[in-house]
């Protein structure tokens, strides 16, 4: 089932995801919904907090359109190491119409559980490293706007407020 993606300034986007105590069928069903929602959007990643499920879970698929899908599931993720610097033009499904260059680490080593509950470690760079940091932020209630300079932050805030107002009273 495709879920509704929350848009900034929805307060739920500021909440922290709770630890997933057990990777149950219920969690796997949520993962299926998230994948459907992400592919429909379309997006390269989605955090559970973006659909109002306040748990430590995100998914990523950075495969190109011509490539077969490559869904990666991260449950209870921990970033073990972040090195280097990389600036990337980012977008976010919770900020429709907004793109901005954001500074991040170039490489990350992450530890998480997969959809079977098994722990794995992964070293990532490029878009995958960017997406992992972006989604990890979501689980802490952090958003791309928090990485912007004061001017762009204000502009983005205003743009999103205006958009929300227009949608409330079209
Ligand atoms: O679809 C998305 N694209 C994207 C592009 C550059 C950096 C990060 C992202 S993540 C975003 C989907 C999203 O909002 N995930 O939380
Ligand atoms: Ni996002």
Q: What average pLDDT does the structure give for the chain?
A: 97
**135 belongs to the catalytic site:** yes
The CB of 147 under 6 Å from ligand 1? The reply is no
In angstroms, what is the span from residue 144 Cα to ligand 1's centroid?
9
Q: Are 81 and 42 in contact (CB under 8 A)?
A: no
Note the pLDDT tens digit of each residue in 110-129.
Answer: 999 999 999 999 999 999 99
Residue 151 and residue 86: Cα distance in Å, rounded?
21
In angstroms, what is the span from residue 49 Cα to ligand 2's centroid?
10
Does position 170 have pLDDT exceeding 90, yes or no? no
The CB of 9 under 6 Å from ligand 1? The reply is no
Does position 17 have pLDDT exceeding 80, yes or no? yes
Q: What length is written for the chain?
A: 170
Check residue 160 and give its pLDDT: 98
The CB of 96 under 6 Å from ligand 1? The reply is no
Check residue 169 and give its pLDDT: 83
Measured at the CA of 160, the angle between CA 170 and CA 104, to 5 degrees, comes to 155
CATH number of 11-168: 3.90.45.10
Does position 28 have pLDDT exceeding 80, yes or no? yes
More confident residue, 168 or 98: 98
Note the pLDDT tens digit of each residue in 34-53.
Answer: 999 999 999 999 999 999 99
- Could you give phi then psi for residue 19, rounded to 5 degrees? -60, 140
Does position 65 have pLDDT exceeding 90, yes or no? no
Contacts of 103 (CB under 8 A, 6+ apart): 85, 86, 87, 147
In angstroms, what is the span from residue 153 Cα to ligand 2's centroid?
15
More confident residue, 28 or 170: 28
pTM (2 decimals)?
Answer: 0.98
Compute CA 152 distance to the chain's CA centroid, rounded to the nearest angstrom.
20
The CB of 134 under 6 Å from ligand 1? The reply is yes
Residue of minimum CA distance from atom 11 in ligand 1: 92
Check residue 54 and give its pLDDT: 98
Q: What is the mean pLDDT of residues 125-148?
A: 98
């Amino acid at each position: 089932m495709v879920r509704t993606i929350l848009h900034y300034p929805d307060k739920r986007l500021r909440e922290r995801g709770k630890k997933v105590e057990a990777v149950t069928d219920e969690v796997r069903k949520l993962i299926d919904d998230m994948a459907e929602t992400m592919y429909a959007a379309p997006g390269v990643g989605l955090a559970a907090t973006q659909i109002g499920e306040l748990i430590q879970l995100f998914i990523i698929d950075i495969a190109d359109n011509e490539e077969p899908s490559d869904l990666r599931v991260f449950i209870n993720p921990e970033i073990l190491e972040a090195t280097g610097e990389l600036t990337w033009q980012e977008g976010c499904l919770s900020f429709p119409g907004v793109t901005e260059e954001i500074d991040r680490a170039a490489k990350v080593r992450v530890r998480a559980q997969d959809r079977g509950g098994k722990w794995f470690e992964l070293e990532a760079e490029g878009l995958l490293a960017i997406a992992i940091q972006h989604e990890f932020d979501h689980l802490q209630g952090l958003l791309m706007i928090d990485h912007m300079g004061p001017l762009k932050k204000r502009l983005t805030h205003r743009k999103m407020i205006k958009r929300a107002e227009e949608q409330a009273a079209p």
